[in-house]
Amino acid sequence: MILLFFTNLFPICYAQEIRWEPVAPGIWKGITGSPEDFDLLSAATPEPRMEAIAKLGEAAFPLDSTETLARQSDGKTYLKFPLVREEQLFGFGLNFKTVHQRGRILRLHVDHYGGVDNGRTHAPVPFYVSDRGYGIFVNSARYLDVYAGSGSRLDSKDPALARDRNTDPNWTASPYSDAVEILVPADGVEVYLFAGPTPLKAVQRFNLFNGGGPLPPRWGLGFTQRVHRLYDQAEVLAEVDEFEKRGFPLDFVGLEPGWLSKSYPNTFDWDPGRFPDPEGLVASLKKKGVGLNLWINPYVSPDADFFSELTPYYGSHTVWAGAVPDLTMQEAQRIYWQKFKKDHVDIGVSGYKIDEVDGYDRWLWPDVASFPSGLAAEQLRQTYGLLVQKQSARLYRDKNRRTYGLVRASNGGGVRFPYVLYNDYNNHKDFITALINSGFSGILWTPEARASDSAEEWLRRFQTVVFSPMAMINAWASGTKPWTYPEVASEVKAMALLRMQMMPYWYSSFARYHFEGIPPFRGMNLEPGFVEKPAGDGIRKVDLEANPYDEATKKEIKDQYMAGPSLLVAPFFAGESSREVILPEGNWYDFYDGSYAGNGEIITVTARLDQIPVFVREGGIIPLTGPRLHAPGEGETFDLEIRHYGETASSFYLYDDDGVSFAYEKGDYSWREIRVEKDENGNWNGSISRAEAGKPDHIGKVSWTFMTKP
Ligand code: GAL
């Protein structure tokens, strides 16, 4: 332990080197001071996937440990991590406007997103990843102040120059900073360091350490529609029939607050007028191949039948006059969730949309609130999203059935929960930035289609929904249906069916999230071979000396992203007639026709209504199935059309299991190798390995399409 004292004129500060101990290959834990018992990991209780982490290999400690410093004073813990010139940072949770985080000042605080990237967001995950191939996670359930390379220290090894503003044109109001500094309002904290060597590997280690991504049931990757909040049971069934009649896919339908006898706060009882026979509804939907998702917020109405039983476990303050159960307490959990189990899960409801666990300050319990566990209101605020995800997911696990739902808040530690984040913000471009950022932080985000001003905008939104973790139409308030705009109805339908055709690709991509920690949707900055400045383009170089905020303000790549192992998606937004796409190094091909698109360069693509630009990397293999209205059900066999792109032999691992249960956790799954290579006559030849005897095998006929013509 080194004690640093700077006493040139007067003591500037002191700090101690963080003591790091290895906890898994390429992962170290550092403890400083006396960490609190309650933190993000104790709330989320992830089980690290040690075997999968080991497969990523050992890695050298990625930083100079003498430059990772901490100190306690004033009841707070101060953390400092080094930065070097040109280093770029990503992460810190669900940001909507910026991808580059160097130079930013954030207060990580669970909240509804208010239009500014200031740390107040639905999932302010205290994890960042550097382009130098390491990541840092601060395991604290407190509001954290982050100076991500904005403070200039007197003791800096690479100090900012003092310039004369009178005469020096390079004078800047924001001089260079060589550190990430974080203030934790507690007497100590646990920190984790994840090695790469690439940024993607660091993210994988972070995800695997948190249990790996969720493996949704197959139906979770199909389409979902949310119906008007005051629909009754007959109207719900009629809407589902309408989808079927018009040939639009639908895997689960979501009910908004009107299913409840009282909402905001909630009884969690079915409304007897609108929903006289919930079991019958679930059964009828099931026959149609459609699941049912229920909107809730967690706050308990005085009219809820379990209200008084929970009395000892409520916080001091209400939300819309509803009581807030202290869900850190076991007895509270037991009383609370048994209602959900009995009245919803046991009758076959397939999942929840858990609303309002994020903010606003004027709605949620205030920070002056107290809770019977003795935890601070702030700690509950930072973890409530984690707690409701974990505890509701357990109801399904107990039935050996997977769920896939929606939630409005999450945090570090929640990687494995089968929930996708959403909000009401509805800015299409920023939705895509959020999708990119979700991949740096171990969370999932849906750019739901909610409302549009034009047919074109509806189509463009729909196209990005198709290439996202949850294909959700949440247009119950606007009343927009997939077919509402006749001018684009056929394009919308073709896109929806493409989503369904791509099921085998999506499912395998999620399996890699679960087993290997690779985010199914991720930013270009995690992609090997991606440079923001391919030769000859107009993207300006960042000069952090001149402006440390440059990283956050320069042209970031936030309008294109990776989907699964081999697809690059470059959406159009309403009103655009052409756009640029940066292709990483290596050959890239057009997804739709297999033609060569470019290599390590910027290309310009012209908008067409029927396509969202998608490119496939060299050797990309995309397993598709036929267009269909529902995801393959349990035990259902489906045919494959396997597409190969490019000019090189390659392989793809296709994941298969029963699609609904947790049997895969006991080894009941198969990875099948799809290989494409040329035979001795130079003709393409495809093969797929058999599933091991006794392991899942749902593949029927296989056909091959070699997309790139010689
Ligand atoms: C909002 C939520 C919407 C919708 C609505 C229902 O808070 O974000 O998606 O569910 O509540 O009242």
Higher per-residue pLDDT: 139 or 174: 139
pLDDT at 602 (0 to 100): 87
pTM recorded for the entire structure:
0.95
Average pLDDT score over the chain: 94
Ligand 1: which of 352, 355, 445 to mutate, judged by most atoms within 8 Å of the beta carbon? 355
Backbone phi, psi, residue 605, to 5°: -115, 145
> pLDDT tens digits, residue range 605-616?
999 999 999 999
Q: What is the DSSP letter of 66?
A: G
Ligand 1 centroid to 423 CA: how many Å? Answer: 8
pLDDT at 307 (0 to 100): 98
Residues of the chain with CATH 2.60.40.1760: 2-209
What DSSP line would sit under 265-301, residue for residue? TB--SBPTTT-S-HHHHHHHHHHTT-EEEEEE-SPBP
Ligand 1 atom nearest to 356, measured from its CA: 7
For the residues 511-536, what does the mean pLDDT come to? 85
Ligand 1 binding pocket, CB closer than 6 Å? 256-257, 295, 355-356, 424, 474
User: Are residues 90 and 199 in contact, defined by beta-carbon separation less than 8 angstroms?
Assistant: yes
**Residue matched to tokens 């109001």:** 173
**Cα-based angle 361, 366, 372 (whole degrees, multiple of 5):** 140
Ligand 1 atom nearest to 476, measured from its CA: 4
Ligand 1: which of 112, 256, 360 to mutate, judged by most atoms within 8 Å of the beta carbon? 256
Is residue 533 very low, low, confident or very high in pLDDT (cuts 50, 70, 90)?
low
- Checking if the pLDDT of 544 tops 60, the result is no
- Checking if the pLDDT of 452 tops 60, the result is yes
> pLDDT tens digits, residue range 178-227?
999 999 999 999 999 999 999 999 999 999 999 999 999 999 999 999 99
pLDDT at 534 (0 to 100): 47
pLDDT at 530 (0 to 100): 80
Ligand 1 centroid to 355 CA: how many Å? Answer: 7
Cα 638 to Cα 631: distance, rounded to the nearest angstrom? 10
> pLDDT tens digits, residue range 274-308?
999 999 999 999 999 999 999 999 999 999 999 99
How is domain 2-209 classified at the CATH fold level? Immunoglobulin-like (2.60.40)
How much of the chain exceeds pLDDT 70, in percent?
Answer: 95
**Residue matched to tokens 């100079």:** 64
- Checking if the pLDDT of 6 tops 80, the result is no
What dotted CATH number matches 218-493? 3.20.20.80
Please give the structure tokens belonging to residue 220.
């979770």
Q: Is 494-539+554-710 a domain of CATH 2.60.40.1180?
A: yes
DSSP helix/strand/coil, 120: strand
- Checking if the pLDDT of 159 tops 80, the result is yes
- Checking if the pLDDT of 537 tops 50, the result is no
Ligand 1 centroid to 477 CA: how many Å? Answer: 9
Cα 447 to Cα 465: distance, rounded to the nearest angstrom? 6
Query: CA separation (Å) from 590 to 1, 83, 371?
Result: 56, 39, 56
Residues of the chain with CATH 2.60.40.1180: 494-539+554-710
Protein residue with its CA nearest to atom 5 in ligand 1: 256
Backbone phi, psi, residue 146, to 5°: -120, 125
pLDDT at 540 (0 to 100): 40
pLDDT at 86 (0 to 100): 84
Question: Which of 88-102, 127-141, 546-560 shows the lowest per-residue confidence on average (mean pLDDT)?
Answer: 546-560
- Checking if the pLDDT of 541 tops 60, the result is no
